[in-house]
A and B are shown apart, each in its own frame.
Chain A
Amino acid sequence: MNREVVIKTDKLTKKFGDFIAASEITFEVFKGEIFGFLGANGAGKTTAMKMLIGISKPSYGKAQIAGFDVYKQTEQIKKNIGYMSQKFSLYEDLTIKENINLFGGIYGLSGKQIETKSNELIIKLNLYKEADKLVGSLPLGWKQKLAFSIAILHEPKIVFLDEPTGGVDPITRRQFWDMIYEAAHNGITVFVTTHYMDEAEYCDRVSIMVDGVIKALDSPAELKKQFNAISMDDVFLRLARGAQRGD
């Protein structure tokens, strides 16, 4: 395979005192891929992701994101990625337009670009009536779709999604995944953590993390074959059953 590698980690580790939150994580993610990062609660997914997006310093190990080093070039990494956190983190006391404006501006989009993008986005999400309403007044599903759209507003190389569909109804989840496909189709690499095993099936490749260690990494079809399982749910249960950590 001679596809472009956009995320490359080598024995990336994060320790908090004696506790090893993420242990020697090694994997590669290719351009335009949808990479599912699975694991039970407390398995270390968020910790690993925070190292990748440059807001948490690794204890040791190497990692390159979009060609930049996670130790020394965190600010360059930040220019090239989008991030949507587990916690909804748009400004609820700003309107949809104001949020788009703010994040467009922060990522250095020109006034004209912001305006075009903003109009496109409002049409795409069907939010004409709500465009000047406070984000806080929107239903959760809409908020999540909006947050994702804003995370890829500046056309990053990679977008990191931390449990983006938590608490969202199945229809909205389906729509959300349509948006993810579209982004991947446009060449944005998608790195997504999730609990939902049906969502894992949508990914090109998935890794399954148990107690801070990556236990399996392959395409969903291969994993099912390897573990002789009928579904990803089954694969996950077999791997995660032995977990010590969790809530």
Chain B
Amino acid sequence: MRTLLFLLRKEFLQIFRNKLILRMIFALPLIQLILLPYAATYEMKNITLSVVDHDHSEYSRKLINKFTTSGYFQLTDYSETYDQALDQVEKDVADLIIEIPQGFERDLIRESETKIVIAANAISGQTAGLAVAYSNLIIKDFNNDVRAEWLPQSRFNTIPVIEITGSNWFNSQMNYKKFIVPGVLALLVTLVGYLMSSLNIVKEKEVGTIEQLNVSPIKKYHFILSKLIPFWVLGLIVMSIGFVISFIVYGIYPEGSFWIGYLFAGVYLVALLGFGLLTSIYAETQQQAMFIAYFFMLVFILLGGLFSPTENMPDWARYLTYINPVSYLIEVMRMLVLKGSSFWALRYHFLIITGFAVVFNGLAIWNYKKTV
């Protein structure tokens, strides 16, 4: 116990003496939480639109107006021909083309039926899909307007209509930030826990100080605990800073209990630090450790559901997320912040992450040897 205290004092002295790391610990949550939620948004507000209006009628103007006032589209230009509009797409000026044919209004009035062409730049499938979906909604709306105009007095609707009204639970305004902020918090905890712990131990290997510890009578668990505890504390400090920043900047705070959040993050950090330890056992230099860590971080984060929902992934990728500890933290953070889930609702998450903690640390202790 006393040995551990000496080792812990050493670790904290070293961490607090490293001014760059200390600054990063505060700067990282601040910058990530302020930048990422604003930059990484799924909502599309600025789909650029090129209109080819061959009709120049009242109705065509109404339709275009409907598009531009929707808030999703931004009119870049009126083109004379479809080819001209396509040119705009090729130059990446426009995302979407609407071509209104000649006789649009006439056909609409005479035959109650007409056609328009919508063409989307599908380099980004997601953008194109959303642009077309928004367009469909707007055109449907336009349709209803026209119908209402023509049948103002009709009390009986000849066509039965099922109207779908939605209510969005847990995030009623569909606030994207409320979705991304808990994920970024999870990311921060992961970064500090995994990267810093693995690099720290490998540094001792590289400098040679670990040999001096290995020839001393310190116990294996002394060494491992002296490396786990400081980064466990740092991880929770970073998370707390993150909570404060997300409250101040976004007014976001967990609907559920803070304590469940800290408890989960606490267990999660033990798991992740064990993984960091395991990494550092196999890496001989900081360069190697950095590369291994980078590889896992990237996979963990991309498959963790931070930016792309795990539900969208193909089956094999979804199975991978089951063995990805980061995805559990992201999920728990979201459930706590958005839904206010109880401990009982999160029991399987707790169980699994505890399993991770036991396995990773078990392997690390098993593989760590006080020999060369």
For residue A132, CB closer than 8 A to chain B, the reply is no
**Per-position 1/0 for A42-77, Cβ under 8 A of B:** 000000001001111100000000000000001100
Q: Who on chain A is nearest to B215 by CB? A: A83
At the interface with chain B, which of A98-106, A115-123, A137-145, A165-173? A98-106
Also in contact, A90 and B209, with CB within 8 A (given A56-B371, A102-B6): yes
Query: CB within 8 A of A87: which of B5, B9, B208?
Result: B208
Task: Report the separation of the CA atoms of residues A103 and B215 in the bound assembly, to the nearest whole angstrom.
Answer: 11
> Digit string of A92-114 for contact with B (CB within 8 Å is 1, else 0)?
11100010011101111000000
Known A55-B211, A98-B13, A101-B6; contact A107-B216, beta-carbon cutoff 8 A: yes
Complex contact A89–B208 (CB within 8 A): yes
B30 close to A (CB within 8 Å)? no
Give the nearest-CB partner of B220 in chain A. A75
B306-326 contacts to A, CB under 8 A, are: none
Q: Binding site of B, secondary structure by majority: helix, strand, loop or mixed?
A: helix
Interface of B with A (CB < 8 Å)?
Answer: 2-3, 5-7, 9-10, 13-14, 17-18, 207-209, 211-218, 370-372
Please determine whether B14 and A55 come into contact, CB atoms closer than 8 angstroms.
Answer: no
Closest 9 CB pairs of A and B: A105-B6, A87-B208, A89-B212, A83-B215, A79-B217, A78-B217, A89-B208, A89-B209, A55-B371
Could you say which of A54, A74, A93 contacts B17, with CB atoms under 8 Å apart? Answer: A93
Cα distance A93–B13 in the bound complex, in angstroms: 9
Partner of B217, one of A87, A101, A107: A107
CB of A50, distance to nearest CB on chain B (Å): 6
B372's partner among A50, A78, A81 (CB-CB below 8 A) is: A50
A88 CB-CB contact with B under 8 Å: yes
Nearest CB in chain A to that of B369: its residue: A55
Whether A106 lies near B13 (C-beta < 8 A) is no
Inter-chain contacts of B207 with A (CB < 8 A): 87, 89, 92
Give the CA-CA distance A107 to B213 in the complex, in Å: 10
- Docked-complex contact B215 and A91, CB < 8 angstroms: no
In the complex, which residue of chain B has the Cβ closest to the Cβ of A104?
Answer: B6
Tell me which of B6, B10, B208 contacts A88 (CB under 8 A).
Answer: B208
A91-B209 in contact given A102-B10, A106-B3, A106-B6 (Cβ < 8 Å): yes
Inside 8 A of A102's CB, which chain B residues have their CB? 6-7, 9-10
Enumerate chain A interface residues (CB-CB to B < 8 A).
Answer: 50, 53-57, 74-75, 78-79, 81, 83, 85, 87-94, 98, 101-103, 105-108
Give the interface centre of A54, A81, A91 by most chain B CB atoms within 10 Å: A91
CB–CB A56/B372 < 8 A: yes
B10 engages A98 (CB within 8 Å): yes
A138 to chain B, nearest CB (A): 15
B182 → A minimal CB distance (Å): 36
Apart from the given pairs A89-B208, A93-B14, A102-B10, 11 other A-B contacts in the complex at a CB distance below 8 Å: A56-B372, A78-B215, A78-B217, A85-B208, A98-B10, A98-B13, A103-B212, A105-B3, A106-B216, A107-B216, A108-B217
Asked whether B6 lies within 8 Å of A85 as measured between CB atoms, the reply is no
Q: Given contacts A56-B372, A98-B13, A105-B2, are A93 and B215 in contact (CB under 8 A)?
A: no
A167 smallest CB distance to B (angstroms): 15
Q: How far is the CA of A74 from the CA of B372 in the complex (A)?
A: 13
| B10 near A91: Cβ-Cβ < 8 Å | yes
Name the distance in Å between A133's Cβ and chain B's nearest Cβ: 12
Give the shortest distance, in Å, between A15 (CB) and chain B (any CB).
Answer: 15
Instruction: Report A-chain residues with C-beta under 8 Å of the C-beta of B218.
Output: 106
**Are A94 and B13 touching (Cβ within 8 A)?**
yes
With both beta carbons as reference points, the residue of chain B lying nearest to A101 in the complex is identified as B6
Contact in complex: A55, B215 (CB < 8 Å): yes
Chain A minimum-CB-distance residue to B15: A93
Q: Are the C-beta atoms of B372 and A55 separated by less than 8 Å?
A: yes
User: A83–B13 Cα gap in the complex (Å)?
Assistant: 24
Q: Which of B5, B212, B371 contacts A85 (CB 8 A)?
A: B212
**Shortest beta-carbon distance from A34 to chain B in Å:** 20
Bound together, the chains give a CA A98 to CA B12 distance in angstroms of 12
- Cα(A106)–Cα(B218), bound, Å: 6
Q: Which residue of B lies closest to A162 (CB)?
A: B211
